[in-house]
Amino acid sequence: MRISVIGSGYVGLVTGTCLADWGHEVVCVDRDPAKIELLTNGGVPIYEPGLEQMIAANVARGRLSFTRDLAAALAGSDVVFIAVGTPPRASDGEADLSFVYDVARDIGEAIDGYTVVVCKSTVPVGTGDVVERIISQVRPDADVTVVSNPEFLREGSAIEDFTKPDRVVIGTEDERAREIMLAVYEQVRANGQPILITKRRTAELIKYAANAFLAAKLSFINEIADLCEHVDADVDEVAEGIGLDSRIGAKFLKAGPGFGGSCFPKDTLALLRTAQDHGVDMRLVETTVSVNDARKRRMALKIMDAVGGSVEGKTVAVLGLTFKANTDDMRASPSLPVVELLQRAGATVRAYDPEGMPQARPLMSDVEFTDDPYTCAKGCDAVVLMTDWDEFQSLDLERLRGLVRTPVFVDLRNVYAPDKLVKHGFTAVGIGRSTQT
């Protein structure tokens, strides 16, 4: 199958690379010249475990290439994936679909022969209809079917998620497109993973419903964590205790500093806008969002409490900046508001992240970025573990204790058993459990 993927970001690049790895002939397109130049020269613009090697192997096999020239990529393509960003509009949180619509126009101009146009970007219900309309306005004789195929991969485990998905959702009522999409995902079918075929609008909504549900699970366990701190219970044990119930499931029950990243915050807001447009109340989703918004302030207050109530004139060492481990993505990371709140309260903030610092630098002002966790912690009044990178799972606590000014360890991911921190002389402040000294 000859496939073009428009947009070579976290989703497009992984999609294109994995499809090439399955044997399809793939051209990845991006309008960012720097990205395409880097990819053409063997570089990878994002950090995603295993991606660099997979790209190199498929480029070497001649199945994967990169270009800025959308028309050239489309020539002879059976399938075109749209994988451009759909960020929240600053004005109202609604998904900004301008990138998707631009690509739809470009596709209309370049299309040749029957083509399946696949919306892989996360788009509100009804966007497929608009994409179809744009293409047919630009090219009234275009022979296309617009399909929805939302993506569920997680950054950090994107290759595994794409190649061994819990399910693939394909939204189309067109028989011809359905067969082509099944051929695209033949490997998934061969592996026995489910492929769900629905109406296009249903597929579009599945993506938002999935993300809103997962976000709700996180806000729920974060509220339980707050209660645990008041009643001397342990949130990780509560999560284990409820997660063992197969009706609940253990995943997405890890209390922490709040959800972030490029999907949950924007997709929950976009779902609320869609609901409002249709006069539907979604109070659970509304609360999920507001609990998460309040969480960042709560984390900043927790850090202030840990150092005696005020961070004025104090130095805080932040370990981890990305919204989760194994990605360099800083979009909507909880570290951004937490650091800003600490600075506003008079703290000096020092930070270290294994992969996220290049993306963090332009987003954070007056932060001293350091080369490793120990330099970061030197002379500080609190160490804050913000992201649970592997590198932070086995810190040399003895060494750390010798470097800090005040031995306070605020573990926002509950990586360390409190008694281990206490044994090394730290005051151990965690999430959803009592502080130990």
Q: How far apart are CB 157 and ligand NAD at their closest, in Å?
A: 10
Q: Which two tokens stand for residue 245?
A: 């119930």
Q: 348 or 387: whose CB is closer to ligand NAD?
A: 387
Using CB under 6 A as the criterion, what x/- string covers residues 135-174 for binding ligand NAD? ----------------x-x-x-------------------
Window 256-285: residues binding ligand NAD (CB under 6 A): 262-263
Q: Which two tokens stand for residue 50?
A: 């295993």
According to the binding rule CB under 6 A, does residue 99 interact with ligand NAD? yes
Q: Give the C-alpha separation, 356 to 314, whole Å.
A: 24
Q: 157 or 198: whose CB is closer to ligand NAD?
A: 157
Q: Which residues have CB under 8 Å from 338's CB, separation 6+?
A: 257, 296, 299, 300, 303, 318, 384, 386
Q: 269 or 431: whose CB is closer to ligand NAD?
A: 269
Q: What angle do CA 84, 87, 93 make, to 5 degrees?
A: 150
247 is in an annotated binding site: no
> Looking at the chain, how many residues does it have?
437
Q: Which residues have CB under 8 Å from 166's CB, separation 6+?
A: 152, 193, 194
Window 21-60: residues binding ligand NAD (CB under 6 A): 29-32, 35
Q: Which residues have CB under 8 Å from 16's CB, separation 6+?
A: 3, 5, 8, 26, 27, 28, 64, 81
Q: 6 or 383: whose CB is closer to ligand NAD?
A: 6
The torsion angles phi and psi of 397, rounded to 5 degrees, stand at -65, -30
Contact call for residues 145 and 117 (beta carbons, < 8 A)? yes
Question: For 313, how many CA atoms within 13 A lie in the half-sphere containing its CB?
Answer: 2
C-alpha 139 chain-centroid distance: 35
- Nearest residue to ligand NAD, by Cβ distance, number only: 9
324 is in an annotated binding site: yes
Q: Which two tokens stand for residue 137?
A: 């306005």
- Count the residues of the shown chain that bind ligand NAD, applying the rule CB under 6 A: 26
Window 172-201: residues binding ligand NAD (CB under 6 A): none
According to the binding rule CB under 6 A, does residue 121 interact with ligand NAD? yes
According to the binding rule CB under 6 A, does residue 104 interact with ligand NAD? no
List the one residue from 6, 111, 304, 431 that touches ligand NAD (CB under 6 A): 6
Q: How far apart are CB 210 and ligand NAD at their closest, in Å?
A: 10
Q: Which of 28, 119, 228, 263 is catalytic?
A: 263
* Residue span binding ligand NAD (CB under 6 A) among the ranges 6-14, 16-24, 351-359, 368-376: 6-14
Edge-to-edge strands, sheet with 168-171: 64-67, 25-29, 2-6, 79-82, 115-119, 144-148, 168-171, 195-198
List the one residue from 8, 127, 292, 343 that touches ligand NAD (CB under 6 A): 8
Q: How far apart are CB 85 and ligand NAD at their closest, in Å?
A: 4
Q: Give the C-alpha separation, 132 to 267, whole Å.
A: 22
Active-site residue 119, yes or no? no
Q: Which two tokens stand for residue 59?
A: 């480029």
Which segments are annotated as binding site for NAD(+)?
30, 35, 86, 122, 155, 266, 331
Which segments are annotated as binding site for substrate?
152-155, 207, 252-256, 260, 324
List interacting residues with ligand NAD (CB under 6 A): 6-12, 29-32, 35, 83-86, 99, 102-103, 121-122, 151, 153, 155, 262-263
